[in-house]
Structure 1
Amino acid sequence: MEKKNQGGENDLPKIILEIANAHGGNFEVLNSIVNEISKIEYSNKAIKFQPFKPDLIALPDFEWYPVYKELYFNPDQWNEILFIAKNVGNIWLDLFDLYGVEIFASNKQIVEGIKFQASVLDNFEVISALSKIPLNNTYLMINISGYEISQIEYYVKEFQKLNPKEIILQIGFQSYPTLISDTGLHKISVIKAAFPHTSICFADHSPADMPVSLDIPIWALITGCDIIEKHCCLNRTITKYDHHSALQPEEIMKLISKINDFQLASHGLFISKCENEYLQKTIQVPVACKELPEGSMIGLSDVIFRRTNQLGLKLPEISSLQTEGYILNKPIIKNLIVRKSDFKKARIAVLVACRMKSSRLKNKAILPIHGIPSIERCLQNCLEFPCVDDVVLTTSDLDEDAILGNYTLNGQVKFWQGDPDDVIMRYLGVCDKLGIDIIYRVTGDCPVVSSDIAEILLASHLKSGADYSAAKSCSVGSCCEIYNTEALRRVIKLMGKAEYSEYMTWYMQNNPDIFKVNIVDLPPEYVREYRLTLDYEEDLEMFNALYVKLEKEQFKPSILNIFNVLDNNSEIYHLNSNITQFYHTNKELIELLNRVTKIKK
């Protein structure tokens, strides 16, 4: 049936109280039953009656024919009782014969719905008579007990021809007594699956003197039915007919109380106020498991989860802030929660380390690649990195490197001169000057360093709360690295100075017990084995050939376009494919770096 606003009073399940023949043919008793039902407070109740005529429902040879004569009420009596009942609840009629159709037609304006019992579904006589009455405002319920799904589908289609307001399927039949195992609860889910857009009514005929008779309707509601039908009477002890499953008024009130409790338990906000309060009072929140330095971010290894009276951020809230580029603006001591006020927006910069000295390819930084100095090609790409406040070309304070100040793309890039040997100290100098918190580290011999890969690395760095992030695998020269400035300060604090700091990667990856190292698997389209760094004459030849091809194909020099050219032009990448990275193959250097960059606690 039509659903009302969820959670409101009118969303209560409909309960149809079936008087059936509990009146015993006594009109005063019928009137008394209706009167008792009127005293029951329930906003979505209905009363169902069974008007029939003996000679239209059965032949005289039928054993119950004399009883049908006893139960008969004339049209005036039906009109009278239905007029009274319309102020008590919605009216439903069981139709068995043409007489029932006649009573319905006379009172159609006050009848909400009509029902066909399973034994009447083929009564063409009744169906034909109904077809002449508009049913667009009348619900039509058919009891489908004893029928298979295919048969039910047939009857649904047939009764749809009457164009009722809605067809309702009813489960449940009457035995004397009806066994608990015969209630048919198990059918509800099957019928709902077969007829997902059809309302289900459950007619419960369990013995009324058993306590379970008040529970089975609730189980039906839980299982998914929409309407409950129960027999009712004044007093089972003195009721002659249809008393086996009939509830007395006080029992109906108990059932309604259970339905109200069910309604309270099954409706409401997805998260109630009390539920939310419970969670907020008991939830374990992240607490610093050690001192967290200013300028760092918070990773899973930095926190433990405890209940506390401190009001702090939850893990998703911390993650959200850091993903947006926030870092700690002060130290967090052990066992302290973290608040939003403990964060500040990080200043992010690309620091490009570059020197003029080069033993293998003299002045390589300013050598032209297809007409543009190598270092400027690198800086052009760095200006495309995401979330960048500054791009800084960093070199030594030696006179020979001062010339690099002429290669800042007309001032778009800042220029910084610092320590000639300690790259970490050089970086920290510019970080102190500009207030830089997070560093994209790029070396100036990477003219095609990728802004797309930089974006992937930064997102992972911020999400993980790392000190250092790098790609697990990439083409040499295509990737940057990401450092928190605070992590580089810690290197100096712990070691005093950083020998071989041009290999600063080792200080991070060689000390995962001190620094939060985040190694990122790049998407496969960003991973190749090409050599894209400038250190030998062969490298310069390859880059010139590459840019000639990019220009010819009218490709922007993005890393994916570069890979596309190299994938399809092997003669270009073969120009330098025989060269290997010195620090990747020199065992003595690797052993030295592993030794000198290991931080002893």
Structure 2
Amino acid sequence: MTKTNILNKKMFIIAEIANTHEGSINKLHEIVNKAIKTKTDAIKFQLFTAKELLVKNHSEYESFKKLEFSNSEWLKVFKKIKKHHVKICADVFSKERAAFAHKAGIDIFKIHSSDMNNYELIDYIASTQKPILLSCSGCKLNEIDNAINRIKIKGKSQIILMHGFQAFPTKINKIELNRIKNFQKRYDLPVGYMDHIDGGSKLAKIIPLIAMGTGAFVIEKHITRNRSLKEDDYESSINPDEFTEMVKLLRKTEKILGNDSFELSQEEQEYRKKMKKIPVAKRTIKKGQKIKKRDINLLRYENYVEELNVLDIIDSVAKKTILKDNPFNMKNIEKKNKVVAVLACRVESARLFAKPMQFVDNRRILDSMISQLKKSKSIAEIILAISENPGNEVFIDYARKNKLKFVIGDDTDVLQRMIKAGEHTNADIIFRVTTEDPFVYWEIIDLVISDHLKKNADFTYTVDLPNGIGFELINLESLKFSHKNGNKRTRSELVTEYIFQNKSQFKINKYNVKKQLRRPDIRLTVDFPEDLILVREIMSKLKNKKIPRFQEILETLNKNPELLEINDKHNEEAYRNWL
């Protein structure tokens, strides 16, 4: 079954029909026809029978009874919508109604806030694997927590939290748009907005734009065939022509907001080329002269493409005489090699969610790793290469909090993210370790870097170490070559697979550790819950030592061999599994 990702578009717009049809199948078809023409992404319906909503002696029972449609009537409506490639979203209020909707081929489920504690319904909808709009109207945080946890346990549905409530209409001072950001921060999930202000207000088409700017990924808005008729749910509904105009405004706003990427547009690149000051020679520099800070000036230079960082130029050597006011480039200087640790981060995983953010003691795996990498004198910088998919904002917050540089890029093209990070930091050599490894053999990092430079290698890797403790060094140019000539698989998290498959095209260097440290039978990476348990046990035995040495970890496992049984079923040949 193909899963729908309703956030393939940055902004997803839903036309809410609600009960504006008043139980008339002809009115329903009329409003559906008009909604289709608005260019909305989806049309939403409320599928119910009165007995699924109310007790029989409820004052509104008979009113809701009149709003019911038969399954065959709904199927005709759905068939019409599918012909126009508009998605179908449904509020369902029972497991039976959800099963009908699922069989009918609806694209998106919405769980109404009134059913936030209806676990039978939530479990069934989650099992369909279809996207879920989870209405948070009038719900307490513990109810939302429980519903989200159940959905995640029962299936892999995309979850979008929906903010907003209906007060026929809702007053402006009760909208609380800031809650969108609060939901995003608390749950690391995309959030949408259900607009219910007075449909006749001038703000009826503006509030959704503001919500979008606040961070809403989904906009749900009521539509009616004619507000002047004052039919059911007209209070917060707008007319089809107004809805069409709102869609156009949202699409324009989408372009204005752009995306979260720091990729420069062509126009911005031209501006940069014209306005950016670049390093030029402050005085004539003779061949063989070591370049100092006093030899460098920053000035604009016409038609110059290649850029070097001032810090990369300082202490480099002139390959040939550089005249005053001439730019520095790779043809006229011998640049020192800059090593940058690039940590590829994403929350998605088939086996253990958000692995880098799991705690090993009172610190996260990412905390532990970074503290070890900082022990190296040869690693100039550490940068996060973060997936652009929703939910990965947690890594952006982490980078900002810890004053780390970061780039954002394609979720599956990990190699491109690595290259982007290297270019962002002016790196020559990329230090690579996977971000689910709480232990790094940090004591040898500088020795391996020195060996990589001494042997003029394109790619260096450690061998025969426990799975999850080794690392790699790859020249940035080698990564670029791999990306250009590789395929989808070699551009994935298998970053160096192209190099291994094409060894004749690269100068590859193996770094061998001492014989007594060669333990590929040990698994110290965190990919399964059992791996995490083992790491926590090791840290506990080491009394949560901040930066343990590899020898100490090895001694702990030798003294407590039973620990290795914890994740033994997941242990494969160490190095190939690490790749």
Question: Structure 2-normalised TM-score?
Answer: 0.50
Greater gyration radius: 1
